[in-house]
Structure 1
């Protein structure tokens, strides 16, 4: 595994650097003075420290060094909270270290929610291939695992491969998922976005056809349609992006700020300022403010064509709407 395992000295130094708050100091003093620390008081103090992600290194030190020395073991619920705290802070190495400690702890059963945190930690840190091995461990359901992988587990792994632009591997995970758990709309949305991100529009649309026709109970949602608009704009097919956008309206699906902004940027990048300006006016009438990057492209495009008065009018209109929102 590519994660570096920290030495005890690392934990001690990180603990001392992060224990400047009075909360941390109080906890450390209690450990130093009381050789008999009760499980209830340990749970109470650790729960309090977990409320602030800044205490993460101190929590790891106290949980795995001091608590073992004192012969007390925190509950699985608290251990899971510690992993969630590390993940929230994006300290994936610490989250994985926590897992490695827990898996060899007597009487600890790793809940699927906590196992999914480990999967997410691996995938978010670029270790999707290693996450496959961990998923296999979950499927074997060893003694330390309280539950088998769920739909979220597979979706995390699929997203991890898509993030690394390995859609072929992501699709293999989906095939494996088909054998155990039915994919949901989230699964398809992740895969469609991943395929578009690699320029595979045809494969993305084929997957959409599978979703709409091959599986009962799964219908494209607002996220699906927005992903299509964004995807077609990303591959330079603005006409299909606009057609998809119009299909959303026809189906009565609320068009999001993201969809508006992506299409606006698509028109601007294509140099079609007429359609870009028309869309901008349509969006503003609806009371939706497009993304500032998209509006910036429109303004620069107008200025490059000598239409500076229109550009200034758009700036003024954006500022007015922003002011109205802030005072309402």
Structure 2
């Protein structure tokens, strides 16, 4: 997905100065934004007080939205560098096309993983016809310096590993959880898990203590370590936890996100991740000039490309993980 703002703020992310030195239980506020031609989303990362959780640098949650009488998601070609996009649906379908020639329609339970690396462009649209409801999450993972200039790639995994016990079904999107390993390519120690919890569940889930973690309330609500987590909200759990207790009264879906705290300092602006303001400025200029670095998404005219907005009037600088 693309940042829809006409004046996107520069996000200075990375570094260990903002990493919790131990367990935390911080509710992260969401910001309402409109994507593409009218899809409302809740932006949970980066947000006030926290920019990253492990290598997870961007979290948008949307729906469930009734799109029966609309065109649904309509995000036309836009570029990315230095990151991976992780697309996850709970309801609906999305048609992905990119400059590599990938042309895939994916639905719930399927992982769409795009590695931008050196540079890529893509589109995301609801197909015609499409299901009535659209509900999911769009996540970005920052690539470490050793992998940020890698060749772009796209993976579509129709089945994912996981387990079911004690009223919770865990599906592993990225990394390893409970002995199950995702087929998705990861470039840093990371974990992403869909947790489908039955009504009345009361579970203690294992965590990697060297990771920092967060939980997103993707559907329904839950009690996390005694604190309420509502639909569309996210709670940051800090580091040093070996487990987390989750209880539900009604069925719920949560996304567990975590990873080793990301040491490198980055600049994230619009749809680009770089290491300096000058680098990000160059990405924007080259995309707007039609540089072949980002390729072309078939099926769209030149005027359908999303151009990079005007850069901020102040220099883009890499700082820390929190404001």
Q: TM-score, normalised by structure 1?
A: 0.23
Looking at both structures, which has the greater relative contact order when contacts are Cα pairs under 8 Å and sequence separation is at least 6? 2
Whichever of the two has the greater Rg, that structure is 1
The structure carrying a bigger strand percent of its residues is 2
